[in-house]
Structure 1
């Protein structure tokens, strides 16, 4: 029931009589209406708001477009029913020419003028449109759904002739009009639009809207096709421009310059590929992790990652933030072999550890692939594949390894030497927690999961000792490549690191297996990697030809073994003592340590975990060493001979030199006007600073200016100077600040009338800064001490006066 205000709002700008209101609203009481002013006053032109003015203008436009001839024999009830159905169907809009003059006049009196002309979106044609190639039913079959009296629906199928399909639809629509009060769902030909109509008029209006929608969709598709063609042309133009001769590029740009402007040996010695910034694989890594993290809010994952990896910025993750490189030098806070993890800790591991671990592993594997050569990998692939173990990165190293192997497999397929779709081989990963294993297996296929490292060191040969042992020893599994990520820094004692190294070495294939050790890029991480390198060279590998034997002074008989051939693949080109690790052990104040950097594109979830959601450029610093077992170094040159040859340069050489005999850049090149200074680690085992001026060679000068940290240098230099490594003060260097090496302390005991006193000579004095603040504090302290002394004297005098007064009173009493 409408109130007086509702009728007034429904009929703006009209004066309705009581009879008209009673006709429109049967429940209206005229007697009570006289006391309530139901007559609606007209709105003045000055009081109209812009929205009302627009509505009236729209109403005048629609009034001119209504049907001019009324429907003959139409009663007032039918007119009202048509108006109410139009309002229910089209809401506050109205199709063009849908109502005649009488119906539109009643529509305006009841609901006011419509807002605008009805669009296809207003009746949901855009959501019911099905333009796909597949149709739910045959083109010759249609269905009518009729609503029964009990509220249920009855489905009535019918056949549509191919040539007279439209006529059948018209006949069906006429039948629908004959039974008012029921709703039908008339299905046209599948693949078009499902229309809902109560009568023929609604059916025709919806048909026109559907045609308008189809025309607009066609125009939209044409515009999208034009835009796509234009975009393709723009991309082709950009590719053509990129293939042109490039100008001088800045050092910090992502893409390297055109290789045609470089010497072939400089290109071969690059540490980076064509793109400095690494892009993480979407299908193999990013998408599976994103799907796994959708179950948990990213804020909860961020909090758990900060707890596990040392706080904001995740300083104890594989990537160390730039602002925390001088902080506590610790290992990875949440290792992959941890036995117990909660659900949120497992999510924190895959979100905060896998992206930087993949970037560092991919950078190392690319360098190892270059230095070992593709022949070894391809020969292994053709003979059954390689067996790889990922120990420490939680599966990120295996994802990077798959990228390397698929590239080699594609080369073999192009040559026609293989036909299989996927490369052969076996993959294993060490994952201690079951919760983490359930997550990692989503993106690692055909992978063996190990709860811990196998221990062959203490298992014995199992032959001739036990009763049930056979004649032959049990076959042990060996791995061609082992990626040991962040395993040694967590072991604080040297003998613990030695035990882990022995275990990894026993798992490595004796015929060319490669062991890769990765740690964080800070002094403690470098020292862990350098300790592994020194131990392998002194205890496991034979010395190179012409090189001195690095036998330890005090060998440990518990870890002695038969030495075998082998060499360091990367990054070291020297097989001797590391110039930055001359004295084993931890060193305080170390400034120079061997490390490398890899830039990568951060995934969105990783940026949000770090707390920098708007930045997608990430960096990971790492120290590593790759050692090959069972294969000696090919070059017969000693370290000194290789350094002299590299200093002369190979710019005019006909054959490519052995890249393992070239010095490597351990810092960024220093670019000056007319010359470039390179800090290199030479094959001789020394740090030297080579200068390449423009007068030395124009090509060498150009390549030196474009060189990067980690590149191998093959074009020589004009001058060379030795550079001392800033290795720190060592654990006990005898410095005065450390309290070592000073004059010996002497204590003098004096016996006097006041007792025994002791005084220490050469005692360290208190170091105080001589500034205004300290002087002010000293003055305040002296004033307070003087005031206390004065109060003490006054109290003593007062006590003495009181005692004298008491004595005088005692004398008087006597």
Structure 2
């Protein structure tokens, strides 16, 4: 193999030695033409000569040095002859030198030029060492070609042929053949594979960075826990860490493997076509309101029976990541509000039963992550070293199509798949002990109500979910997109559950259906008692929603209840979105979580055993602040601060207001927009002078947190709810109110009968409700009617 040295010009002594060699053994012109002329074409540059060294053959090592010395010229060029011998010895033996090979004069020159050599006894000892390097000269010809010259046995420069190594030749030929034989389709596949490897590498780096961030966040949270108020920590909404990372082994890798069966270009085009184009506005993602995108539900639903292969792939790639992140956030909040005892009870039942009614299986994966975290916490607190296997319970997933069911089965083990929900069962049938109906401890129903067009269909769907809940503490989670219409769907379901099922102190009975009243005519069955239940989150009240004043759809709504959760996009979603600037996304959602059969407002179900009320009194108490135990900060003794600080053991966080928007941070005060336990929307201001602890925690408060440390001032917040849909037509234009028409009939009595007297009088009313017989002519100053004819001859 060639080993190129640094570029340098040929020195004077070398030129002299070349001239001597040519003079000693000159060739005829005819002989010089017999030398092979083989060259390599390189880029043309200025004529230069540079030294190139390569290995010397064994034949040259074995040649007799005495043969060359006999042919050397004598006295006139003795000094040059010494230099030539020294250089030949250097080229032949390198840093080593056999003893006695050079004369005393030659050795002095050698030491002056190259320094002290490494002595060996004989030249044969150097055969076992690596071969020395031979000097080559690269010379550019007149035609621009470059040739390599080597000094021959007689000292004359001769041209040599240089060939690439066989391995390099095969590699180059392989690359050229690949380039020539690669078609457009193969190039697309190659490009997709390269993009996939790139995004997977970015995702892996993000995952490792996220793990390091989690370690630092754990340390920061421990430090912050020492500084933050205990009630502030108990009221936090976000999960820990705040950014959700999809499980790589449980979700990302299996889904990526399933998506490799489809062409990426085809998958991207189909996904954009199904979910609204760039940015996928009709998927679980929510585009900014400034883009003015249309509000539509997710067009694909797991209950659909006609979902094809490409539709199933698009659903898994574009919808499931956002659903997983939002469901994890909601489950963490539900676990915090229901407490540790609820999760321990679920684990005692070997994980309980769960129904995933609208996410294709990722809701079950999110529930499994929560169970694993709780299982590890329990064993860490008990000090047990052997954790054992986590009880994941029995899962049921709604999947109407075979394509989605086959794909979801790759993600889940020991799971039952059903094509549709069971029919609604009345409370009388639920009490059948001989053949009890299967109920679930957790029902997760994301994005299942909005696709239904009629309101009565949505109510029937919610009735089904409620009937499938375990009446001894089952939890129902309804989730929709964080848009005005999505909020209205969730708010309507909340209103229906409060009116018909969940009992409250101000509403304990509900009017029974006509069928049940007719079937029992002898009993008083008009009103029946409601069931025990409660709203877990996000509401801390059981009154009418202050953001849902008028039922139905409202036009121009600006204020609505929704929350946000950040997650890291998987590589396949990054490629579909063609995202290059960021690999995370903030999914927005509106939700409601309710529990059947338990109500913490009652002492027997309260975590503290005392019960509580959600009313104006609890709102006033929260406004004053729960920082201290019935004393003011000025009366606190420094030695008893820890004992006088209120904790979650003193007050239930469900009596606190919830932040419905991010806090507005000003220089000397913090503004919090909250929804209070009294069912009102207020704006609270926490200045620096109010409390050092409250001001510090208010600066750290996040969207969705429960606020417990009070405020200094409060005002009612103006809500922009828009106008009811009845005031607008299908194109969004405001409809004019119809004029009122009243027909007055003059009636009388004749022979004991009521008869009409005179003609009917018709009154036409304007839009303000005023009635008149005739209309005024604008600008006429009189009544509308025919003017009397004026006879000109009468005036004369």
Give the TM-score range, shorter chain. 0.5 to 0.7
1:298 matches 2:347 = no
Quote the residue 2:639 is aligned against. none
Query: Which aligned pairs between 1:25-44 and structure 2 lie closer than 5 A?
Result: 40=36
1:422 alignment partner, one of 390, 405, 415: 390
Quote the residue 2:621 is aligned against. 645
Quote the residue 1:112 is aligned against. 161
After superposition, give the CA deviation of every residue in 1:111-135 in whole Å (9 maximum; x if it has no partner). Answer: 624679x9x99999xxxxxxxxxxx
For 2:464 and 2:566, locate their aligned partners in 1 and report how far apart those are by CA, in whole Å: 32
Partner of 2:61, secondary structure, is coil
Quote the residue 1:740 is aligned against. 736
| Equivalent pair of 2:541/2:676 in contact (CA under 8 Å) | yes
Query: Which aligned pairs between 1:655-694 and structure 2 lie closer than 5 A?
Result: 655-656=647-648, 657-694=651-688
After superposition, give the CA deviation of every residue in 1:123-155 in whole Å (9 maximum; x if it has no partner). Answer: 99xxxxxxxxxxxxxxxxxxxxxxxxxxxxxxx
1:621 matches 2:588 = yes
- RMSD value over aligned CA atoms? 4.5
1:564 alignment partner, one of 498, 508, 531: 531
Against the structure 1 CA distance between its residues 237 and 691, is the aligned structure 2 distance closer, same or farther, given a 3 Å change threshold? closer
After superposition, give the CA deviation of every residue in 1:345-366 in whole Å (9 maximum; x if it has no partner). Answer: 1111111111001011111001
How far the C-alpha of 1:591 sits from its partner, in A, is: 1.0
After superposition, give the CA deviation of every residue in 1:646-687 in whole Å (9 maximum; x if it has no partner). Answer: 111111133422011110000111111211111100000000
Against the structure 1 CA distance between its residues 453 and 57, is the aligned structure 2 distance closer, same or farther, given a 3 Å change threshold? same
Query: Which aligned pairs between 1:43-192 and structure 2 lie closer than 5 A?
Result: 57-59=52-54, 62-63=55-56, 67-69=60-62, 96-97=130-131, 112-113=161-162
1:721 matches 2:687 = no
How far the C-alpha of 1:507 sits from its partner, in A, is: 0.7
For 1:692 and 1:557, locate their aligned partners in 2 and report how far apart those are by CA, in whole Å: 55
How far the C-alpha of 1:473 sits from its partner, in A, is: 3.2
Against the structure 1 CA distance between its residues 243 and 450, is the aligned structure 2 distance closer, same or farther, given a 3 Å change threshold? closer
TM-score by length of 2: 0.63
For 1:629 and 1:273, locate their aligned partners in 2 and report how far apart those are by CA, in whole Å: 25
Against the structure 1 CA distance between its residues 123 and 741, is the aligned structure 2 distance closer, same or farther, given a 3 Å change threshold? closer
1:530 alignment partner, one of 487, 491, 511: 491
Quote the residue 1:207 is aligned against. none
Quote the residue 2:405 is aligned against. 437
Against the structure 1 CA distance between its residues 724 and 324, is the aligned structure 2 distance closer, same or farther, given a 3 Å change threshold? closer
Against the structure 1 CA distance between its residues 583 and 449, is the aligned structure 2 distance closer, same or farther, given a 3 Å change threshold? same
2:702 alignment partner, one of 702, 708, 718: 708
Quote the residue 2:549 is aligned against. 582
How far the C-alpha of 1:639 sits from its partner, in A, is: 1.2
For 2:225 and 2:284, locate their aligned partners in 1 and report how far apart those are by CA, in whole Å: 32
For 2:628 and 2:226, locate their aligned partners in 1 and report how far apart those are by CA, in whole Å: 16
Quote the residue 1:250 is aligned against. none
How far the C-alpha of 1:385 sits from its partner, in A, is: 2.6
For 2:725 and 2:532, locate their aligned partners in 1 and report how far apart those are by CA, in whole Å: 34
Query: Which aligned pairs between 1:223-238 and structure 2 lie closer than 5 A?
Result: none
1:276 matches 2:242 = yes
After superposition, give the CA deviation of every residue in 1:26-59 in whole Å (9 maximum; x if it has no partner). Answer: xxxxxxxx9xx86546999x998699956x6124
For 2:418 and 2:478, locate their aligned partners in 1 and report how far apart those are by CA, in whole Å: 19
TM-score by length of 1: 0.61
How far the C-alpha of 1:314 sits from its partner, in A, is: 1.3
For 1:239 and 1:520, locate their aligned partners in 2 and report how far apart those are by CA, in whole Å: 28
For 1:589 and 1:640, locate their aligned partners in 2 and report how far apart those are by CA, in whole Å: 30
Quote the residue 1:362 is aligned against. 328
For 1:339 and 1:460, locate their aligned partners in 2 and report how far apart those are by CA, in whole Å: 32
For 2:726 and 2:152, locate their aligned partners in 1 and report how far apart those are by CA, in whole Å: 103
Q: How many residues align?
A: 561
The 10-residue stretch of structure 1 (636-645 or 584-593) with the greater mean CA deviation from structure 2: 636-645
Quote the residue 2:372 is aligned against. 406
After superposition, give the CA deviation of every residue in 1:252-309 in whole Å (9 maximum; x if it has no partner). Answer: xxx9983333112111111113432211111111111111112223222111111222
| Equivalent pair of 1:518/1:624 in contact (CA under 8 Å) | yes
For 2:337 and 2:354, locate their aligned partners in 1 and report how far apart those are by CA, in whole Å: 18
How far the C-alpha of 1:472 sits from its partner, in A, is: 5.4
For 2:481 and 2:300, locate their aligned partners in 1 and report how far apart those are by CA, in whole Å: 14
| Equivalent pair of 2:445/2:477 in contact (CA under 8 Å) | yes
Against the structure 1 CA distance between its residues 410 and 47, is the aligned structure 2 distance closer, same or farther, given a 3 Å change threshold? closer
For 1:235 and 1:292, locate their aligned partners in 2 and report how far apart those are by CA, in whole Å: 25
Partner of 2:547, secondary structure, is coil
For 1:744 and 1:358, locate their aligned partners in 2 and report how far apart those are by CA, in whole Å: 54
Higher relative contact order (CA 8 A, sep 6+): 2
Against the structure 1 CA distance between its residues 650 and 615, is the aligned structure 2 distance closer, same or farther, given a 3 Å change threshold? same
| Equivalent pair of 1:58/1:113 in contact (CA under 8 Å) | no
How far the C-alpha of 1:622 sits from its partner, in A, is: 0.3
Against the structure 1 CA distance between its residues 241 and 317, is the aligned structure 2 distance closer, same or farther, given a 3 Å change threshold? closer
For 2:399 and 2:285, locate their aligned partners in 1 and report how far apart those are by CA, in whole Å: 20
Against the structure 1 CA distance between its residues 592 and 692, is the aligned structure 2 distance closer, same or farther, given a 3 Å change threshold? same
Quote the residue 2:420 is aligned against. 452
Partner of 2:535, secondary structure, is strand
How far the C-alpha of 1:416 sits from its partner, in A, is: 6.3
